[in-house]
Structure 1
Amino acid sequence: MRIKSTIAALAFATVAGVSTVAAGTASAGPLGTYYATYPSLYSCRADGESSYTGGYYWECVENWDGWDLYIWY
């Protein structure tokens, strides 16, 4: 039953927007919350590192129209 409880907790955390990165889950793409699109990597990174965004982990992903910032809370 402990395995089922752990799987259910991870599924709930993913749906609720809680960071599952700390739980050691790997992903093929960004699963964080989309925050914004930036024209340059520098501006995306600046917002990712800002304490204003409030995430535990952030990632800038290059897109056809700039850089998308994803944040895990």
Structure 2
Amino acid sequence: MSNGEELRRLDEELARLRAEVAAMRDQVGGLGATDANERAQMINLADEQENLINELEARRESLLRSSGEG
């Protein structure tokens, strides 16, 4: 896979993950008085997704640097 193709795929994945995290955070905020354990699990899942986003962003930056675009 070329750097350009990998960058395109990373950008798509990042956009999808960012939307998912935003939706999770919105859902947690709108839950009201629900099970605290369930809320904590949703927050943890959103945090894990954000960690994945950070890893993908680092990979994207590395690809940009190696291709001379960054």
TM over 0.5: no
Q: Which has the higher strand share?
A: 1
Report the TM-score range of the alignment, normalised by the length of the smaller protein.
0.3 to 0.5
Name which structure has the greater RCO, CA cutoff 8 Å, separation 6+.
Answer: 2
Larger Rg: 2
Q: Which has the higher helix share?
A: 2
